[in-house]
Structure 1
Amino acid sequence: MVNLSSCLLLFLLSLHCFVACLVANPKTITTDQSALLAFKSLITSDPYDMLSNNWSTSSSVCTWVGVACDERHNRVHSLNLQNMSLRGIVSPNLGNLSFLVILNLSSNRFNGQFPKEIYRLHRLKVISIAFNEFVGGIPETLGELSQLQILHLGANNFSGFLPQSIGNLCQLKSFDISRNMLSGPIPQTISNMSSLEYLVFHLNYFSGEIPSLNNMTSLRVVKFSHNNLNGRLSNDFFNQLPQLKYLTLRNNQFDGSIPRSIGNCTSLIYLDLSSNFLTGEIPKGILGDLRRLNRLYLDNNQLSGNISSIFKFNNSLLQEFYLSYNNLSGNLPSCICHELPNLRMFYLGHNDISGNMPTVWNQCKELERLSLAFNSFNKGPMPGGIRSMTKLQRLFLMGNNLEGEIPPLNNLTSLWVVKFSHNNLNGRLPTDFFNQLPQLKYLTLWNNQFEGSIPRSIGNCTSLIYLDLSSNFLTGILYFLSRYIYLK
């Protein structure tokens, strides 16, 4: 009898524990199924029938397309519907997926507000909803997702300010809110995100100064371009960014000089500070210490100093170098491609470079684009060495006091843009001038002193779409037609 009572008591205790567990954790895979069916019901367009033919109660939710379950708990762990062209609003019922770790709805046509209920899912490590049409603000509750490692909200229509609470996302590694309509200052609390590697804020309306990034020693990519950020970059701005590889601040309103501490970023590959109001000289450390630099854009600023000092350092990896629209002066050295042997694009137009235009270009074997337009070079002939740059595609030499005849360009078979206007070039265009320019699309020679007839070989330039020979002394009969012709 005692044994029977003991067994009965043990059974009742087990039953109590089972019922207590059900009460404490009432959500099951059925809850997840209901949440996903509610999500499906708000989809207004599913052009590839990804959900309509697959998400059905006749099969396990864990086998549905885009759904993955946690084997231990038998609950939905991941929802990945990336790039399925789905349209509709996102159901707040997704907030019932209490074991969700990964949510990827990127590259669809979802609209409306992103449900605030999803910000209660504290197991979330990945939220990727970029390239949709979401609207509204970003709530303070975002900062409660302390496990979050990837947050991609880019290419939507989010507006308003970034909440200070984002500083609580201490495990975040990748943060992309680019291509939205966010405004106001970037929260100072961003400096708490010490694990961050990718910080992508471009194409918004952020204003004010950039918060200190010195605690963010893991940063590899920083994109703040195309905002309304302003102020000076602090002298120690680059002191604690040893991993930084990619930095773009272009098209903002920064002023003052480029901090010399930039030379500390020895891992830097891509640097774009163009289209600001930066002044002063270019720090020697940019080319002297940044030996891995591949692309450097400093154009559209107010930088000054002697151009020759920039080319005292060898950088065998630099391929693109933009310095146009500044106040640089001095003589352009003839060793450009000796120091920068892999240079592909070099833009120096609209400065105050003087002296003779370099004639030695045979070392520029990789150069594809060259602009020396509108400087103050001495009067003289066009450098004949240009024809050694057989990979050249774009050549801009406008407004440079060039005189004499155009040298043969027959070796430059890749040329498709040529601009020699606003010079004193003269003489006749050689009869075979256009024989070896099969790629030529854009040619402007206007406002020079060319005479004689237009060579019939121009008919060989079958790719030509823009031709401007106006303001010269050309004569003869037209034997060709083109989409745009200006002859005055």
Structure 2
Amino acid sequence: MNYNTCFHLLSLLFIQCSIVSLAMTVRNLNSDQFALFEFKDRIVDPQNVLANNWTNSTSVCKWVGVSCGIIHETVVALNLTNMNLRGTNPPHLGNPSFLFSIDLSNNNFYGHLPKEFGQLHHLRIIRLSYNRLNGEIPSWLRNLHRVQRIHFRDNSLSGGLPDDLCVHLPKLKELYLSRNELSSSIPSSINKCCNLQILELSINQFNGIIPKSIRNLTQVKQLYLGLNNLEGQIPEEIGNLFSLEMLNIQAIKGLTGQIPTSIFNISSLKTIALSRNSLLGSLSNDMCQHLPELEGLYLHSNELSGNIPSSIGKCNNLKNLLLSHNQFMGIIPRSIGNLTRLQELYLGFNNLEGQIPEEIGNLLGLELLTIKAIKGLMIPTSIFNISSLKTIDLSNNSLSGSLPNDMCQHLPKLEGLYLSRNELSGNIPSSISKCNNLKILAFSYNQLTGIIPRSIGNLTRLKELYLGLNNLEGQILEEISNLFSLEMLGIQAIKGLTGQIPTSIFNIYSLKTIALSSNSLLGSLPNDMCQHLLKLEGLY
């Protein structure tokens, strides 16, 4: 056979293969197009996005939400998020056999997931979160051996996790099942999902214990188990999850025992959220020795006791520290002043004593300071130099002494100042007006004396004002009428407060509550007092 004959035969073979390939591509595209037309015809599309775009006059590969492969030109991805689509998931979506990714999240699909989805053997990603799907987790999921991401959060799925789910999904990296109605126990076979990086099971009705086999999920970075009906203890084996960045096991009253010390050896951790459980015991002295990345430590609302470790100062990346509503005792360690990146600090409702350390003044990034319901504490003036503060809540302590005259000199961002139920004395500083972003000012239940300063009328963003149960005297000032955003005015039980109620108060249309009872106020009420008080709900 000469060269020309061979060349012609090869050319003919190539042309025939190209024709066959083209025919297969056309057939696949036609099949995909038909399946998507069937899907469109069986759902409600209130914005008519699909009705106007998915037409015969346009190639299926150019339809909104549709992506095709480069080589074979078949539909490989379907992304129809946030379109307010309604209806059941039609079985026809199981027909595009080369579908790689399907995302129907943030719509109003309801009912069971069709078994035809189990035919999508090429599927890597399935996102159906934020819909109204119900029924059990379908058994056909185990057919999707290549799937890496399953997102079913915020639906109404019920039943338990299939025991062998992870046996058939060795490549699974993300499993989002939170905010459903799933029950039964977490299967010990969860460890077979050995490539998992995110496991989200929170806000369901899972019961039983946290399985010890979870130790094998060594690639997990985020673990969410909170708000379930679990019981028992946090297993020590969680300490094996050396890639863990987020540990979130919150609001489980059946969760008791001590916090495993092994958790504090996971150097990759950025967040430890174990609040609102029934955890006992004390924190280890060296808890921050191996947590260089930790940014959030949420341990509030447990039954933890002992001292706050002085080594807390070594968690120097902390931004949020919440230890309130426990039984911690002893003093607030001075080393807390080393947490210079701290933004929120909650220490209230413990059995602490002594003084609030001056070193708190070093926390120059602090936005929220809450230390309340702790008897015997003193207030350091350095707090008023933290210019980043948005909220100071030191209420319900035994704070004594007077407020510094320049307390608002360095608090330009302060929105909430809660100092009620203490033993503060002296005058209300006239410089209070320099806290001109204040929305809530609570000074009630103290021993403050003198008059209400006229400068308080400059706090034009104020929404709530509480000055009652003090030893103030004089009159309620006309300047209060400048507070055009005020919703709550509480100046009660001050016998030294005399004179008439300023009529201008009744012009503050935003007021919902006026509480001026148990004073020594005189005079009559204006005839048109309710003319501008359309929102008023309480008049005391």
TM-score normalised over the length of structure 1: 0.80
Provide structure 2 residue ranges, at least 5 long, that are not aligned to the other structure.
1-26, 75-97, 254-276
* Residue-by-residue CA offset, 1:291-347 (whole Å, 9 max, x unaligned): 222222333x3140333326355122111122223x253321112132x22111111
Q: For 1:221 and 1:188, how far apart are their aligned partners in 2?
A: 18
Residue of 243, 252, 275 corresponding to 1:227:
252
Bigger CA drift: 460-469 or 231-240?
231-240
Q: How do 1:360-375 residues align onto structure 2 when only pairs under 5 Å count?
A: 360-361=406-407, 362-375=409-422
Structure 2 residue identity aligned to 1:307? Q
Q: Does 1:79 align with 2:129?
A: no
Residue of 168, 173, 176 corresponding to 1:152:
176
Q: Does 1:448 align with 2:465?
A: no
Q: Is the 8 A contact 1:220 1:246 kept in 2?
A: no
Q: For 1:240 and 1:170, how far apart are their aligned partners in 2?
A: 25
Q: For 2:48 and 2:304, how far apart are their aligned partners in 1?
A: 49
Q: Is the 8 A contact 1:67 1:79 kept in 2?
A: no
Q: Does 1:429 align with 2:476?
A: yes
The CA RMSD over aligned residues, in Å, is 3.6
Structure 2 residue identity aligned to 1:272? L
Q: Is the 8 A contact 2:378 2:398 kept in 1?
A: no
Q: For 1:119 and 1:297, how far apart are their aligned partners in 2?
A: 45
Residue of 342, 347, 353 corresponding to 2:388:
342
Q: Is the 8 A contact 1:209 1:231 kept in 2?
A: no
Q: How do 1:231-270 residues align onto structure 2 when only pairs under 5 Å count?
A: 231-232=280-281, 234-235=283-284, 237-270=287-320
Q: Does 1:308 align with 2:361?
A: no
Q: For 2:382 and 2:398, how far apart are their aligned partners in 1?
A: 19
Q: Deviation at 1:67?
A: 6.0
Q: Secondary structure at the match of 2:457?
A: coil
Q: For 2:162 and 2:41, how far apart are their aligned partners in 1?
A: 23
Q: Deviation at 1:46?
A: 5.9
Q: Is the 8 A contact 1:208 1:231 kept in 2?
A: no
Provide structure 1 residue ranges, at least 5 long, that are not aligned to the other structure.
1-27
Q: Is the 8 A contact 2:392 2:416 kept in 1?
A: yes
Identity %: 33
Structure 2 residue identity aligned to 1:369? G
Cα–Cα, structure 1 residues 420 and 192, in superposed 2: closer, same or farther, change >3 Å?
A: farther
Structure 2 residue identity aligned to 1:443? L
Q: Deviation at 1:71?
A: 6.1
- Give the length in aligned residue pairs: 453
Q: For 1:243 and 1:372, how far apart are their aligned partners in 2?
A: 34
Q: For 2:162 and 2:289, how far apart are their aligned partners in 1?
A: 33
Residue of 118, 128, 134 corresponding to 1:111:
134
TM-score normalised over the length of structure 2: 0.73
Q: Deviation at 1:84?
A: 2.2
Cα–Cα, structure 1 residues 285 and 197, in superposed 2: closer, same or farther, change >3 Å?
A: farther
Higher strand share: 1
* Residue-by-residue CA offset, 1:240-273 (whole Å, 9 max, x unaligned): 4433333434444544444555444333323334
Cα–Cα, structure 1 residues 293 and 207, in superposed 2: closer, same or farther, change >3 Å?
A: farther
Q: For 2:230 and 2:53, how far apart are their aligned partners in 1?
A: 43
Cα–Cα, structure 1 residues 435 and 401, in superposed 2: closer, same or farther, change >3 Å?
A: same
Q: For 1:98 and 1:202, how far apart are their aligned partners in 2?
A: 33
Q: Does 1:204 align with 2:237?
A: no
Q: For 2:114 and 2:310, how far apart are their aligned partners in 1?
A: 51
Q: Does 1:187 align with 2:211?
A: yes
Q: Is the 8 A contact 1:415 1:437 kept in 2?
A: yes
Cα–Cα, structure 1 residues 49 and 302, in superposed 2: closer, same or farther, change >3 Å?
A: same
Q: For 1:190 and 1:260, how far apart are their aligned partners in 2?
A: 32
Q: Deviation at 1:397?
A: 1.4
Residue of 449, 456, 478 corresponding to 1:403:
449
Q: Is the 8 A contact 1:68 1:79 kept in 2?
A: no
Q: Is the 8 A contact 1:78 1:101 kept in 2?
A: yes
Q: Is the 8 A contact 1:403 1:425 kept in 2?
A: yes
Q: How do 1:161-172 residues align onto structure 2 when only pairs under 5 Å count?
A: 161-172=185-196
Q: Which residue of 1 aligns with 2:537?
A: 484
Cα–Cα, structure 1 residues 33 and 386, in superposed 2: closer, same or farther, change >3 Å?
A: same
Q: Which residue of 2 aligns with 1:5?
A: none
